[in-house]
Chain A
Amino acid sequence: MALQAAVKGKLISVIGDEDTCVGFLLGGIGEINKNRHPNFMVVDKNTPVSEIEDCFKRFTKRDDIDIILINQNIAELIRHVIDAHVAPVPSVLEIPSKDHPYDASKDSILRRAKGMFNPEDLSMFGAENYST
């Protein structure tokens, strides 16, 4: 109990390919808690999508996690689950991997933010006055 109180702050968790996980764990974000639950998941080409989905849901339910890092190519596999997560905390951050560069058009947050720039909504701002 005293140990728990002394540890301040919350965790950064990671769901990613081997290099992403090895790299960020080397950076010091890895943890095994008292229930022996890690805050990371290494995904390879044989990992079933259901397992990634379960892990992501588990991380979002944990109250000791503030940021969930996920490779964008893996996020694509569970896009519906990521889109359904709208709470600000834990913050889900889609990061590129060495094989898949960052694509802003796939990012859930940017797509949500861009959603308000559709023509009907822009007309609310008086965009029709500026049309040629």
Chain B
Amino acid sequence: MTLDKICSEETVNDLLDRLTLRQLHLMEEKMCRELNIESNINNGCFNLAKSRYIMGQAAVSKERLPTEASSEFSALTRCETIEEDGEMKLKIVENDTNTVNPMHWFGVLVPQNLHKAKNIFQNALNFIVECANIQIQIQENVKNIDVLKRYKVMLNP
């Protein structure tokens, strides 16, 4: 049995309609998540600026970040790939092997604002992983729509 006998043009059109609608929903969701990330980053930067005001300009800067000369350490927050309902998804996982406390790069007694900034950026990571998942779905959807469009052309040469 050939493919065109299995899927009529009507079915293909219906599928294309559904995928297009899904695409619009996914695009809207992605923009919402990006706006959430934006407000988190703005809040986080505001708290970093307050910490900088309290501790001094150089105390909260890139000079405090580890460099290639620093000793090896692993990330506290990582992401894992899981398969849910046949779809590939990313999920945040906490790692406790060979880690360092990032707060110690900026001193031992740090202001409360730096703790707040840390929590805000950690929260932003949740939105980031959600946004990455939506992005993966958008890419998958684009691929499916493309395949269906080519199939539709095949049905009507």
Contacts and interface: CB of A to CB of B under 8 A. Distances in A.
Given A9-B93, A20-B41, A26-B114, A38 B66 contact: yes
A22 B80 contact: no
For B35, B95, B128, which residue has the most chain A Cβ atoms within 10 angstroms?
A: B128
A5 to B, nearest CB: 10
Interface of B: 13, 16-17, 20, 23, 26-27, 30-31, 34-35, 37-38, 41-42, 44-45, 48, 60-62, 64-81, 88, 90, 93, 95, 97-99, 102-103, 105-106, 114, 117-118, 120-122, 124-125, 128-129, 131-132, 135-136, 138-142, 145-146, 149, 152
Contacts, number: 190
19 contacts: A8-B95, A10-B78, A12-B79, A18-B61, A23-B41, A23-B44, A26-B106, A26-B117, A28-B75, A32-B66, A32-B72, A33-B72, A34-B72, A37-B68, A67-B132, A93-B131, A93-B132, A95-B41, A101-B38
Interface of A: 3, 6-12, 18-34, 36-40, 42, 66-67, 69, 86, 88-89, 91, 93, 95-98, 101-102, 104, 107, 109-110, 112-114, 116, 121, 124-126
Q: What is the predominant secondary structure among interface residues of chain A facing chain B?
A: mixed
Contacts of A32: 66, 68, 70-73
Contact of A110 (B27, B68, B129): B27
A91 B102 contact: no
A10 B30 CA distance: 22
A122 to B, nearest CB: 9
B53 to A, nearest CB: 14
